Structure 1
Amino acid sequence: MKDEPLVSVVIATYNMGQYLPDAVESVLNQHWKNLEVIVVDDGSEDNTAESISRFNDDARFRYVRTANQGQPKAKNRGLAESKGEFIGFCDADDLWHPDKLKLQMPLFKDSSVGVVYSEVSYIDELGMLIDKPKPYYRYSGKVTNHLVIKNFIPFGTALIRRACMTKDGVFDESLPMGIDWDLWLRYSLNWEFKYNPEKTYAYRLWSGQMSHNYRGRYDNAIKILTKFLMKYPDAIPGSVISRAWADIYVCRAMEIAKSERTFREPFIDLMHGIKHDWLNILAWKAMAKLVLRRI
């Protein structure tokens, strides 16, 4: 075990009894043996406790039940319970690949690296692989200028050094969504990020996901970016700030236009995007598609 630092894995869950056992098992089956799994049950009303009772005899497993307070508080409770020098996360409906830690942990050899993340695969409700292209370019090193424009880090793939949490805090409990982007932005100011191109995490695409709430997602993205820029006004160049705002408004416009088949609201968002970055090619292309009703 001396060559394997303890890794704490936090799984926050709410009414995920149908998927949670597979998530827990995927972490416990790691080739890296020095780990602990902390399941924080955020007031589930289904069979969650019963579904994972078979893990109670495993010394690496801990089950913590709380009143329903939302995922940020549940994740922070898991962090408070954790003991590892490094910390990982797995959503209750997702899976870790068995060699995830073996592949990612060596990248922490450099003490300036605070976050190591990897590529992600996709599965459906039945656990079958889905062929889906990589949505974003991934970056390593000092990533703030890239990260402020797009959250390119698949949350469940990320491992963090505990010192990040000690120095730069935990999840913002005032945010119902986007808490990972907020965390990565803060960590990126003082730490380097490392990307491993191997697929180490399986993200489940299904009808009950919070990620389908695109309006909430963009509303919180605006809050997060506003908060970050107010707290760290000199962290990034003005041109990058303009591009970041343009990206949020353009992407929200395209999402609303596509999902709701409306014109006025997406048009206003696109105008905001162009105002922030009038050379933004994506914004002009989106405007043309909207006007021609091709979104």
Structure 2
Amino acid sequence: MLLHQESPQPLVSVIIPTYNRPEYLKQAIASAIKQTYQNIEIIISDNCSSDNPQGLVASFGDSRIRFWRHQQNVGMLANQQHAFKIARGKYLASLHDDDIWNEDFLAKLVPPLEANPELIIAFCDQYIIDADGRINHAGTEENTHGYKRDKLTPGIHQPFYKIGLIDKSIPTAAACVIRNIFVNWDSIPSEVGGMWDLYLTYLCCISGYGAYYYPERLTRYRAHEQTDTMLSGSRDVQAKIRKAKSEMFCYQVFMEDARLQEFRTYFQQKWLEANTTLGIGLLRSEQMAAARPYFWQALKKQKFNLRTMAALALSFSPRFLATKLMKISK
């Protein structure tokens, strides 16, 4: 097994942030180790899991693995950023601790980047799998269609503002390889939160370099009850509030970027929707007064929106009634 000091292949840093998912983490690490593209380092950054996964990581006995454990929970974004910052590779790829790569993932995405120095990112399509690793074929087709990868031309896209920020065709968090030198990891502000992948796509878009699409499903994205989008109850509300705040920040940045003015109307609409979503999240947390400014803000910028107006009306209802109605409307 060649290490990067001896290999003619450029080094790729595989970033695996993890928190309290040892069984999934084991599968993710295994899929990285089994890559047919061998010249890699695997950086595992643990966000202070209740059970230290160091023993699990060491059990693989692979000298390419670098393990870091935070002494306290620093949050999802900071944990991810730390791993990006210590990466030594010419290229890097993010692998969630609950996702899996095909063995030829890197072998198929690195060569286009090597062949064309004007590219900053190469990406592919992905399968959707359930908690037990079974492929959800309907979900997979829906995902491909929803992000318009079924209509996306293979090969080079430059510029790629539309496919990156409007269609969101690029799965930056789990199914791409990035040229490391062009990304300043300190330029990703904490306010982006869980939308860090969209913001990273933005940084790649404004770099002036191109993107390469490889039209195969080379990764397996796991949709399960531990993901933010599938939480329930109060945790679901808090996840929605966090996401809405992150979306508001990102779309505000995009609206103000002169390079993206042709898409400003779209970004403004997404920003308005995020205002309403945040307000509804606050309503469900029984923070009526705190919710209203976000509804007023959304209504000032658009002539009529039934969802926003209904939510605003609920914020003036008796607390018990508003709470009951919000639960019914989920």
How far is 1:227 from its partner?
2.7
Gaps of 5+ in 2: 231-238, 285-290, 309-328
Question: Of 219, 224, 233, which aligns to 1:201?
Answer: 219
Query: Could you tell me whether the CA contact under 8 Å between 2:251 and 2:270 is conserved in 1?
Result: no
5 Å-filtered alignment, 1:237-276, equals 237=261, 239-249=262-272, 272=298
Counterparts of 1:40 and 1:243 in 2: how far apart (Å)?
A: 36
Is 1:189 the equivalent of 2:191? no
SS of the counterpart of 1:52? Answer: helix
Counterparts of 1:226 and 1:248 in 2: how far apart (Å)?
A: 7
Call closer, same or farther: CA 1:173–1:285 in 2, change over 3 Å: closer
Query: Could you tell me whether the CA contact under 8 Å between 2:124 and 2:213 is conserved in 1?
Result: yes
Whichever residue aligns with residue 32 of structure 1, its letter is Y
Is 1:107 the equivalent of 2:112? yes
Question: Of 14, 36, 39, which aligns to 2:41?
Answer: 36
Counterparts of 1:49 and 1:115 in 2: how far apart (Å)?
A: 31
Question: Of 32, 41, 56, which aligns to 1:51?
Answer: 56
Q: Which string of whole-angstrom CA distances, capped at 9 and with x for unpartnered residues, describes residues 50-109 of structure 1?
A: 332312x21111111113101222122212221110001100111111110111112212
SS of the counterpart of 2:55? Answer: helix
Whichever residue aligns with residue 200 of structure 2, its letter is L
Gaps of 5+ in 1: 288-293
Whichever residue aligns with residue 220 of structure 1, its letter is S
Query: Could you tell me whether the CA contact under 8 Å between 1:76 and 1:170 is conserved in 2?
Result: no
Whichever residue aligns with residue 223 of structure 1, its letter is F
SS of the counterpart of 2:80? Answer: helix
Counterparts of 1:61 and 1:171 in 2: how far apart (Å)?
A: 25
Q: Which residue of 1 aligns with 2:325?
A: none
| More moved, 198-207 vs 214-223 | 214-223
Counterparts of 1:40 and 1:128 in 2: how far apart (Å)?
A: 26
Call closer, same or farther: CA 1:252–1:30 in 2, change over 3 Å: farther
Call closer, same or farther: CA 1:17–1:217 in 2, change over 3 Å: same
% identity of equivalent residues: 20
TM-score by length of 2: 0.72
Question: Of 211, 216, 231, which aligns to 2:229?
Answer: 211
SS of the counterpart of 1:156? Answer: coil
How far is 1:4 from its partner?
1.8
Question: Of 244, 252, 260, which aligns to 1:226?
Answer: 252
Q: Which residue of 2 aligns with 1:62?
A: 66
Call closer, same or farther: CA 1:286–1:146 in 2, change over 3 Å: farther
Query: Could you tell me whether the CA contact under 8 Å between 1:21 and 1:51 is conserved in 2?
Result: yes
Number of aligned residue pairs: 274
Call closer, same or farther: CA 1:285–1:117 in 2, change over 3 Å: farther
SS of the counterpart of 1:129? Answer: coil
Call closer, same or farther: CA 1:80–1:254 in 2, change over 3 Å: closer
Query: Could you tell me whether the CA contact under 8 Å between 2:109 and 2:122 is conserved in 1?
Result: yes
Q: Which string of whole-angstrom CA distances, capped at 9 and with x for unpartnered residues, describes residues 162-203 of structure 1?
A: 12225x755433432101111111221112111111111111
Is 1:9 the equivalent of 2:11? no
Q: Which residue of 1 aligns with 2:193?
A: 176
CA RMSD of aligned residues (A): 3.3
Question: Of 212, 215, 235, which aligns to 2:259?
Answer: 235
Q: Which residue of 1 aligns with 2:174?
A: 156
How far is 1:272 from its partner?
4.5
Question: Of the two structures, which has the highest relative contact order with CA contacts closer than 8 Å and spacing of 6 or more?
Answer: 1
How far is 1:148 from its partner?
3.3
Call closer, same or farther: CA 1:254–1:198 in 2, change over 3 Å: farther
Which of the pair has more CA radius of gyration?
A: 2
Call closer, same or farther: CA 1:17–1:170 in 2, change over 3 Å: farther
Query: Greater helix share, 1 or 2?
Result: 2
Counterparts of 1:38 and 1:65 in 2: how far apart (Å)?
A: 11
Call closer, same or farther: CA 1:272–1:146 in 2, change over 3 Å: farther
Whichever residue aligns with residue 243 of structure 2, its letter is R
Question: Of 122, 131, 134, which aligns to 2:128?
Answer: 122
Call closer, same or farther: CA 1:251–1:79 in 2, change over 3 Å: closer
